[in-house]
Structure 1
Amino acid sequence: MSIFKELNDIKVDVKAYEEIPLSEVEQKRIIMRTQKKIKSTKAKTFKGKKYFVSAIASISAISLITFNIAFPTFAEKLPTFTNIFEFFTDNERNIFDDFSEHATSIGLTQENNGISITVTDAVYDKENITIAYTIKSEQDLGERPVLLGDIIVDEFGNQYEHSGYSENYLVKKIDTHEYAVLYVYELISGSKPETINISWQGDNVRNLNNGSQLVDGHWDFEFSLQALENSVMNFKSQNIHSLDPGIEISLVKMTQSPISTTIHLAEKVDERLISQEQEELRLVLIEYLVSDDLGNNYNIIHYRDTGHSTDFNPNHISAPRITTNLINNDASFITVTPIVNVYKVSNSKGHLEQIVKPYEIEPILVPLNK
């Protein structure tokens, strides 16, 4: 029987319930859901655009208020948050505009030591495994709590057991003791099969802003993901470079999936030449800006690899990569602009002090297939 038919058969005295005003959090959720519906009906355009129709939002708000009044018990059982990907639109590392359309719904909850963790969705595109989840607790977990533990994938064997991967977390408070988290498990090297069976064995919830604030426990999740289709453009033989005294950055390849674009680079740096220092330890880190020929700027998640130090072999190559939103369909090329940062270690605790003002060097122009 349809849930709507069941609800129609319930006899409810509406006057017996007090109207519950919407909180700011709920209002934001309604707006984000409305934006998503509008967005999905549009042809592909630049992902940074936001659409808003106040009339539809008002109708949604009225419907939600009515639902809470008429069916308070059922409303309490509804998930408190339904689309984590859309919750990070104001984050400078938000690259998740298209993830919800392609993610696998998981819907698994584990509770231990007073902390409830719900994995809502996950997506795998052979570059990253991205897991969306919520953390809910009766205690204060700090500003950036995340679930830490092992990602075990039988299909990977031991390729990612100790290296070859990187982890990124985006965390945002939903309510006083409730958080939304996006966990990006970057697959840097090793095989990337079509189907993966994941066992995520979490053993503590830790505040990333204060490592000593943690709660031990056991939260285990098992689910399978199918890889999204992706295409690879190899540039290694095309000699696309950014050159500057002491620096050579080469474009290696670019992968595109239905949810993101990933640019792979190779960096070779002469730290002594750049810092003009022959004796002391010097370090160089290169950041990047990404834009297209239409003037659109893109958020990125940057895997920096090793960076560069005067302790390294002079021929050391660092292999960073940049993951960003889908590129606008009308763009002809992407511009990747390197920004060079030079540091020294200023005290015994390893604090880094910038010794050269950050500067841009020749951009890399990445052609797009048309």
Structure 2
Amino acid sequence: MSMKEWMDLDIDQLELLEVDDLEKARVKKHVLNRQKKSSIWRNMVVSAALGVSVLTVATGFAFPSLVSQIPFMDHVISYFDDEEQHYKNFETFSTDIGLAQSSNGITVMIDNAVYDGTNVTVAYAIETEHDFGEVMDVRAPNWFDVSEASGSGGTSKITKISDNHYVGLETFTPHFEENQHPETIEVTWKPEAFNSFSNELEVEGDWSFAFSLNRVEGDIQLVNETVQQKDVSFTLKSVEFTDVSTVISYEQVVSDELLKEWPSVTPTFHISDDLGHVYLDGGGGGGTSHDNGKAFYGTTDFGTIQEGASKLIIQPVEIASLMSGKGHIEVELEPIVIELQ
């Protein structure tokens, strides 16, 4: 599709497709741990890197004014209606990125991104000349790489909205030394190939993006409340309220005896308010441990608090696992009730 055709695209011509169970289950790259490495930044703030290789030719352009003329490209986040509560303020407080790269018949366009001090969310769109079927996947060795971060973990989702258009949503947590939260982060993303889940199609190419994000400021409420059982002690350190999310920070200590029996012990949460709204039911978050899981420091985020709520109820549920699907148990701790200020 030419650029003129993009600009003339009529949103009424796009046939929205139902998302099947396979797509809903595509929460992947849950632990993307990698060794810390240096990143080269040549003043590439909100600019795409252009590249030419022997096998592929890539073109790149920044187009903040063009985005509004491409109906499905504008407001990508709106296609993820099942998570509307979580991302309801995304459009208002996110950063307009407006970058595009084309290679081997696939154009990738980054729409918006937001960094809440803990997590990063990136919304993007894909136009392709190839038939990838109902579910597309992307191969990128370092995924979204954040300068100065030692690793990251998160989730990825790509949804088909018409025959040759897809929208994607990435949410990930970069891990920094000593649990730091930089005011500004620099992000690079270099997909190497796109492939299909329904056939053996894989299309390699040359795409490269670089942009920076400023932290969305929030209000921090210190908690420092501990709940424990015999083998697990969990301390909720704080809750941060931003315009786009709510972030809880915590640490836990697990006994040597429990780790001998169950080598992985990670927290998940049931989080609700006094009005009955449920914000998280079984989800977890990113974190770090320097002693093989005995002490764990982590964060978890969810949507903004509903208006009128006066209490937040956070119940940790520890998943003690043998890993690799070999079995697990759940250890429920007492809920922590926070009076909202």
Contact 2:155 2:170 in 1 (8 A): yes
Q: What's the CA shift string for 1:192-230, capped at 9, x where partnerless?
A: 4444454433333356x69x9743322122334333222
Q: Quote the offset at 1:134 in angstroms.
A: 0.9
Once the two structures are superposed, the pairs formed by residues 24-173 of structure 1 within 5 Å of their partners are: 25=16, 78-91=70-83, 95-141=86-132, 143-146=135-138, 148=140, 149=142, 151=144, 156=147, 159-160=148-149, 162-163=150-151, 165-173=152-160
Distance 1:227 1:344, change over 3 A: closer
Aligned position for 1:342: 320
Retained in 1: the 8 A contact 2:268–2:317?
yes
Of 207, 228, 235 in structure 2, the residue corresponding to residue 243 of structure 1 is 228
* Partners of 2:251 and 2:295 within 8 A in 1: yes
How do residues 178-189 of structure 1 correspond to structure 2 at under 5 angstroms?
178-189=165-176
Aligned partner of residue 78 in structure 2, secondary structure: helix
Change (3 A) 1:24 1:218: closer
Partner of 2:337: 365
**Corresponding letter in the other structure for 1:303:** G
The structure-2 alpha-carbon separation of the partners of 1:264 and 1:108, relative to structure 1 and needing over 3 Å to count, comes to: same
Greater RCO (CA < 8 Å, at least 6 residues apart): 2
CA distance, structure 1, for counterparts of residue 167 and residue 11 of structure 2: 24
Is 213-222 or 107-116 further displaced after alignment? 213-222
Match of 2:211 in 1: 223
d(CA) in 2 for partners of 1:129, 1:223:
12
With structure 1 as the length reference, what TM-score do the two structures score? 0.63
Q: Partners in 1 of 2:256 and 2:202 — Cα distance?
A: 39
Over alpha carbons, which structure has the higher Rg?
A: 1
Check if 1:305 corresponds to 2:294: no
Aligned length: 277
Length-normalised TM-score, structure 2: 0.68
Contact 2:85 2:304 in 1 (8 A): no
SS of corresponding position for 2:327: strand
* SS, match of residue 156 in structure 2: strand
Question: Which residue is equivalent to 1:175?
Answer: 162
Say if 1:339 and 1:176 are closer, same or farther in 2 by CA, change over 3 A: farther
Matches of 1:264 and 1:335, distance apart in 2: 14
CA distance in 1, matches of 2:201, 2:85: 26
Q: Is the 8 A contact 2:158 2:166 kept in 1?
A: yes
1:184 & 1:178 partners in 2: Cα distance?
A: 20
Change (3 A) 1:284 1:225: closer
- Corresponding residue of 2:50: none
In the TM superposition, what whole-angstrom CA distance separates every residue of 1:158-201 from its partner, at most 9, and x where no partner exists? x21x43x3232232221234221111232332554444454433
CA contact (8 A) 1:285 1:307 kept: no
1:200 aligns with 189
**Two-structure CA RMSD over aligned residues (Å):** 3.6
Q: How far apart are the structure 2 equivalents of 1:264 and 1:252? A: 5
Change in 2 beyond 3 A, CA 1:197/1:243: closer
In the alignment, residue 118 of structure 1 is paired with which amino acid? M
Map of 2:299 onto structure 1:
321
Identity among equivalent positions (%) equals 26
AA at the equivalent of 1:146 = V
Q: What is aligned with 1:262?
A: 247
Does the CA-based 8 Å contact 1:233-1:254 persist in structure 2? yes
Distance 1:26-1:199 versus aligned 2 partners, 3 A rule = same
Q: Are positions 1:351 and 2:325 aligned together?
A: yes
